[in-house]
A and B are shown apart, each in its own frame.
Chain A
Amino acid sequence: MAQRFDLYQPGKSYLYHLDPRTKVIAVLAVFVVSVLFTNPVFLAPVFFTVILALVLGRVPYQRVAILLKSLAVLVVISLLLWPLIYEHGTVLATFGPFRVTQGGVLYGIGMSFRILDMVIVPIALFLTTPQPDFVAALRRLGLPYKATFALSTSLRFLPTIVGIGESIVEAQRARGLDPNSGGPIRRLRSYSRILGPLVITAIRIAQQLSLAVEARAFSISRQRTYLRVLTFGRMDVGVLAGIAVLMVAALVMRVLGFGVLA
C-alpha cells in the first residue's frame, strides 16, 4: 500500500555533492535558455550539455530511460505536427492543404529539444536530491516558509491520499462497482463514486492537520532556525559562476537576434 513517491536515488557523484540551491538554479537556467531560443542549432548544444552533465553525474539512467520512453510520443508529435502548422522559409513538400517548410521542420526539432530539456533536467534534480533538501533549498532561495511547508506537507501526504484512494476503490468494488467497465460516460460516473469520498477525506485530513500544527505553535515565531545546514562549496561557486557566464552570453546573443528562427 505504501508506495514511494520520492524519486531520490542515493548515489555518489558531483551532482550529489552540489548544494541543492545550486541545482535548483541550474534547472532554472536550463529552463530560461530553452525558452530563449527556438533554433535547434542553439538548442542541440544545450541538450547535449545536459546529457553530458547527467552522464558525468552518474544519474541513474534506467529511471531517465523509462521517462524518455513516455516522452517519445510527445517528441514524435512535436516533430510531425510543427512542420504542418508552422510555415517559414523554403517549402520542402506539399501535402494537400499543408505546406512543409524548412523553418517548420527546424522549429519541430527545436521544440523537441525544448521538451526533452525541460523534463529531463528537473527529473535529474529529484533523482539526485532528497526531498527535504529540495524544500530547504527553495526556502533559502527566498520562498516563504509557509509556502515551503505547504509544499513539503503535500509531498508527505501524497502516499497517504493514494492509500485512501485504494481503500475507496476497494470499498466501492465490494458494493458491485466495476470502475473499469462500460463506456466513457459510465466510467466517468464510476470515478465520481471514488473521487467524492476521496475529496471529502482529503479535506478532513487538511482540516485536522491545520488544527494539529496550530496546536503545536505553527507560525508563532518569525525567526526560524534550520536543522539542515546548507553550505556552498568550492564546486558550487564554480558551477554558479559558469551558469552566470553562460546566462549572460545567452541573453546577449538573444538580444542580438541569434538563435531564433525568423
Chain B
Amino acid sequence: MNAEVALRSVNVWYSYPSRPDSVVLAGVSAAILKAEFVALIGQNGSGKTTLAKHFNALLRPQKGSVEVNGEDIGRRLTATLASTVGYCYQNPDHQIFAATVAAEIEFGPRNLGVPEAEIQARTRRLLDLVGLRDEAFSYPFSLGRGQRQKVAVASVLATEPQILIVDEPTTGLDSKGGHAMMELMRQLNQAGNTVIIITHDMSIVAEYSERVICMANGRIVADGSPSSVFKNRAALAEAGLRPPQAARIAQARPDLFSPDVITVAAAVAELSRRSVDRAAS
C-alpha cells in the first residue's frame, strides 16, 4: 500500500510568518496515489496553493509532516526535489528568463547536471509535446499567453518529474488553449505521471480529474470522485463553490439524468440513450 502513495501529508499545520494569527492549513492529512489525476479546488485563500507548496518543500509544515514516495521531505531542499516533484506556477512570466524557448526548457535539467545529449533530446521531445517546435528559438516573451504557459509547463517537465503540480493551468487561456493544456495533462497522466491541478474551473475538474480534493478554511472538506464531491452540497457550500452547469442541470432533473452526470458529454449521451429507449418502447 505504502509503495503506491506518491504524496502524503500528515496533519499539516501552517501559517505564513507575515500573518501568524491566521491559520492557513489546519491539520491537513491527505494521501495522493501514484498515477492519480487530482484536482485541488476551493476558494481563494482556502489553502490549496499553500498545501501544494508543501509537496515540494517550498514551504515546511509547522506541525505535521510531508512525504514524497514514502520519504519524509522535512530536510530536503526544493532544488533536490525538482526531478521528483514538478511545480508549475500560475503565472508563466514568473519563471521565464531565457532568451529562447529552448534555453528556457534546458534550464531545469542543466541545474540537475543532466548530460548534454540527454538535455537536447528532452528539449526536442518536449517542444514536440507542447507543440512549440517551430518556436524553439523564439524569444519567449514574444509568444502569446497560451504559448508562454506551454513553455512554462515544458520547462517544468524537463526535469522529468513523476509528480506534476500545476497551479491554475487554464487561467488566462482561451477555451481552445485551455483544453489543449488539459489534454497535455491527461496525456502525461496516462503515461504514468501523478498529476495535481489547482483550479477554479469546475467544468475542467469534471471533465479531466478522477479525484477531487475540496478545501475550505485550511481543511479538506470533501475528497472523492468528482461526481461524489459535486453531490456533497454541505461541503461545496462551505467551500463557496457550485458544481459545473451539467451537474446542476442533472441534479435539478433527476427524472431525466442519473445523479452521476457532471459533464455535458455525459448529459448528451444520457439524453440520446433515453430517446433511443423511448423510440424502442
Chain A interface residues (CB < 8 Å from chain B) = 1-3, 164, 167-168, 170-178, 181, 192-194, 196-197, 200-201, 204
Question: Does A168 contact B95, Cβ atoms closer than 8 Å?
Answer: yes
Q: Would you give the 0/1 interface string for B81-96, flagging 1 where the beta carbon is closer than 8 Å to chain A? A: 0110111110101111
**Which residues of chain B are near A194, meaning CB under 8 Å?**
97
**Which residues of chain B are near A192, meaning CB under 8 Å?**
97
Question: Does A2 contact B112, Cβ atoms closer than 8 Å?
Answer: no
For the complex, give the distance between the alpha carbons of A2 and B18 in Å. Answer: 7
CB distance from B104 to the nearest CB of A (A): 10
Given A174-B156, A176-B111, A193-B107, the answer on whether A200 and B79 have CB atoms closer than 8 Å is no
- 27 A-B pairs whose Cβ atoms sit less than 8 Å apart in the complex: A2-B18, A3-B18, A164-B94, A170-B78, A170-B87, A172-B95, A173-B77, A173-B78, A173-B79, A174-B58, A174-B78, A174-B85, A174-B156, A175-B108, A175-B159, A176-B83, A176-B109, A176-B112, A176-B159, A178-B79, A178-B111, A193-B97, A193-B107, A197-B93, A197-B96, A201-B94, A204-B93
For the complex, give the distance between the alpha carbons of A238 and B96 in Å. Answer: 57
Question: Does A167 contact B111, Cβ atoms closer than 8 Å?
Answer: no
Question: Does A167 contact B94, Cβ atoms closer than 8 Å?
Answer: yes
Please report which residues of chain B, range 113-158, place their CB below 8 angstroms from some CB of chain A when the two chains form the complex.
141, 155-156, 158
**Which residues of chain B are near A200, meaning CB under 8 Å?**
93, 141
**Which residues of chain A are near B107, meaning CB under 8 Å?**
175, 177, 193
Given A174-B82, A175-B107, A178-B77, the answer on whether A201 and B93 have CB atoms closer than 8 Å is yes
Whether B53 sits at the interface, judged by CB under 8 Å, is yes
For the complex, give the distance between the alpha carbons of A181 and B112 in Å. Answer: 13
Whether B56 sits at the interface, judged by CB under 8 Å, is yes
Query: Smallest CB-CB separation from A199: which chain B residue?
Result: B97
For the complex, give the distance between the alpha carbons of A38 and B87 in Å. Answer: 58
- A-B pairs, top 6 by smallest CB distance, nearest first, are A196-B97, A176-B111, A176-B82, A171-B95, A174-B87, A178-B79
Question: Does A175 contact B96, Cβ atoms closer than 8 Å?
Answer: no
Query: Smallest CB-CB separation from B98: which chain A residue?
Result: A196
**Which residues of chain B are near A196, meaning CB under 8 Å?**
97-98
For the complex, give the distance between the alpha carbons of A112 and B80 in Å. Answer: 47
**Which residues of chain A are near B108, meaning CB under 8 Å?**
175-176
Question: Does A175 contact B141, Cβ atoms closer than 8 Å?
Answer: no
A interface majority secondary structure: helix
**Which residues of chain A are near B16, meaning CB under 8 Å?**
1
Question: Does B58 contact A173, Cβ atoms closer than 8 Å?
Answer: yes
Given A170-B58, A174-B156, A177-B79, the answer on whether A197 and B87 have CB atoms closer than 8 Å is no
**Which residues of chain B are near A181, meaning CB under 8 Å?**
79
Query: Smallest CB-CB separation from A2: which chain B residue?
Result: B18
Query: Smallest CB-CB separation from B141: which chain A residue?
Result: A200
Query: Smallest CB-CB separation from A164: which chain B residue?
Result: B94
Q: Would you give the 0/1 interface string for B147-175, flagging 1 where the beta carbon is closer than 8 Å to chain A? A: 00000000110110000000000000000
Query: Smallest CB-CB separation from A197: which chain B residue?
Result: B97
For the complex, give the distance between the alpha carbons of A177 and B97 in Å. Answer: 13
**Which residues of chain A are near B82, meaning CB under 8 Å?**
173-176
Query: Which of A3, A167, A176: most chain B CB closer than 10 A?
Result: A176
**Which residues of chain A are near B93, meaning CB under 8 Å?**
197, 200-201, 204
Query: Smallest CB-CB separation from A195: which chain B residue?
Result: B97
**Which residues of chain A are near B87, meaning CB under 8 Å?**
170-171, 174
For the complex, give the distance between the alpha carbons of A175 and B84 in Å. Answer: 10
**Which residues of chain B are near A193, meaning CB under 8 Å?**
97, 107
Query: Smallest CB-CB separation from B58: which chain A residue?
Result: A170
CB distance from A234 to the nearest CB of B (A): 41
For the complex, give the distance between the alpha carbons of A204 and B148 in Å. Answer: 15
Contact of A175 among B18, B53, B91, B155 (CB under 8 A): B155
**Which residues of chain A are near B85, meaning CB under 8 Å?**
174
Query: Smallest CB-CB separation from A170: which chain B residue?
Result: B58
Q: Besides A173-B79, A193-B107, 16 other CB < 8 A contacts?
A: A164-B94, A167-B94, A173-B58, A173-B77, A174-B89, A174-B156, A175-B159, A176-B79, A176-B109, A177-B111, A178-B77, A197-B93, A197-B94, A197-B95, A197-B97, A201-B94
Contact of B95 among A1, A2, A3, A175 (CB under 8 A): A175
For the complex, give the distance between the alpha carbons of A171 and B165 in Å. Answer: 12
For the complex, give the distance between the alpha carbons of A193 and B96 in Å. Answer: 8
**Which residues of chain A are near B83, meaning CB under 8 Å?**
176
Contact of A1 among B18, B77, B141 (CB under 8 A): B18
Question: Does A171 contact B89, Cβ atoms closer than 8 Å?
Answer: yes
Query: Smallest CB-CB separation from B107: which chain A residue?
Result: A175
Please report which residues of chain B, range 1-47, place their CB below 8 angstroms from some CB of chain A when the two chains form the complex.
16, 18-19
